[in-house]
Amino acid sequence: MEPLEQGELRTAILALAEKADFDMKDIFVIDGSKRSSHSNAFFTGFGPSKRICLFDTLISQQSTDEIVAVLGHEIGHYKKGHIYIGMVLSFLETFLMLYLLSIFISNPDLAAAFYVSEPSAYFGLIAFGMLLTPIQTVLGVVGNIISRMNEYSADKYGAELTGKPKDLILSLKKLSKDNLSNLTPHPFSVFIGYSHPPVLMRVRALNDLESHDSTLV
């Protein structure tokens, strides 16, 4: 991981960050091309120590405006509080799991239902393990619904920040092609297992946003 060199892209990213009032320490390039052709961009850290990270594949495959559009989306996650929402939800999920585990370990009625004379930690762990998968499946579906809503929200923020939703649309299409994404997954599959909306749905939402907001070009 190396700092992004001076040039048009760095200047454009810094201008976007200033416009969004997004404090950061630096911009870095990751040599992702050594491992795969997948592209991505993200930021890490908190407060003024935040760092923007770009895959070198993203830089080679997309224009400056398209990369800026992607970063506008990522900044949207931060500005909308999605990072903190995710941390809180993760904490609540852990608390729920530990609470359920305590019930399974000490519940005499559950033990009696399985013809166990006395509840024990060993039986509680086995019984909890039997129901862990369906519990995690339900929690995963809820988490994915929230995540997809956050993606639409970040798309909207990024499009409004740059004023160019078409750049984000082009970027999403290229990312979908380069990352071999399924453009038309079954709706039930999306509901159960997708943390991000399918690209076609995101494109339609951005087109609707553009058609209803005359300030976006």
Q: Pick the closest to residue 42 from 154, 177, 202 (CA basis).
A: 154
- 162 near 210, Cβ under 8 Å? no
CA atoms within 13 A on the CB side of 200: 8
Structure tokens, 115: 């013809």
The CA-based angle 153-156-157, given to 5 degrees, is 85
Decide if 155 is catalytic. yes
Catalytic residue among 2, 21, 65, 155: 155
Element (H, E) at 93: helix 82-106
**185: amino acid identity, one letter:** P
User: Pairing relation of β-strands 2-3 and 51-55?
Assistant: unpaired
Among 8, 21, 65, 74, the one annotated catalytic: 74
208 is catalytic: no
Of the candidates 5, 25, 9, 133, the residue with the CA atom closest to the CA atom of residue 71: 9
> Which residues carry out catalysis?
74, 155
